[in-house]
Structure 1
Amino acid sequence: MLSLAVLIDKVIDIYTWIVIAGAIMSWLVAFGVVNISNKFIRMAVDVLYRLTEPALRPIRRILPNLGGVDISPVILLLGLFFVRSLLWEYVWPAFIR
């Protein structure tokens, strides 16, 4: 069971970094720092979008319109941190006894 908890923790950790990279990449594209006409950049943006959008879309539907500010990645990261904390709060003590 501990191995499964460690695996889930690592998957959450990797997905956290993917969400952060996706948010940063969207800012860079929005502010014109990177050019999406570059094939590599376009591919990276597409991969990050496809990985993060299924989790961000339901959050965006629930959140009110805040103008041009998208806080859905922050909400998703808070949720991931919460799930990770619950995982270690309930799984880890069972192995210490």
Structure 2
Amino acid sequence: MITLLQIIEYLLIIVWWVIIVQAIMSWLIAFNVINTYNETVRAIWLALKKLTDPLYNPIRRIMPDFGALDLSPLVVLIILYILSDIVIPRLELWWVGAVPL
């Protein structure tokens, strides 16, 4: 069980970095530092969108529309932080019998 929780924690870290990379890339596209006319940039952008849209869409349905400002990545990062720093360590301690759940 501990190994499974550690694998989940590593996956959460990978998802966290994917969201950070997508946010930075969206800023670079918005300020026209890079553009999507480049095939490599477009391929990376579409891959990141396909990875993150399933995480963002449920949050986008709940949150109010702020126009051009999309806060769903921030909400997902907060959820990932709560899972990786609060929930998983408590589950590990509960599994070894150190604390009651």
- What is the TM-score when the length of structure 2 is the normalising length? 0.88
Following superposition, the deviation at residue 66 of structure 1 comes to: 1.3
Query: What CA distance in whole angstroms lies between the structure 2 residues aligned with 1:5 and 1:45?
Result: 30
Q: What per-residue deviation string (whole Å, max 9, x for no partner) do you get for residues 52-72 of structure 1?
A: 001101111111111211111
Query: What CA distance in whole angstroms lies between the structure 2 residues aligned with 1:68 and 1:5?
Result: 37
Length, aligned pairs only:
97
Structure 1 segments of 4 or more deviating over 4 A? none
* Corresponding position of 1:45: 45
Q: Which has the higher contact order (CA 8 A, sep 6+)?
A: 1
* Corresponding position of 1:94: 95
User: Percent identical across equivalent pairs?
Assistant: 35
Query: What CA distance in whole angstroms lies between the structure 2 residues aligned with 1:38 and 1:83?
Result: 36
What amino acid sits opposite 2:68 in the alignment?
G
Query: What CA distance in whole angstroms lies between the structure 2 residues aligned with 1:58 and 1:94?
Result: 31
Query: What CA distance in whole angstroms lies between the structure 2 residues aligned with 1:96 and 1:53?
Result: 38
The answer as to whether partners of 1:29 and 1:35 remain within 8 angstroms in 2 is yes
Give unmatched runs, 5+ long, in structure 1: none
* Corresponding position of 2:82: 82
- What is the TM-score when the length of structure 1 is the normalising length? 0.91
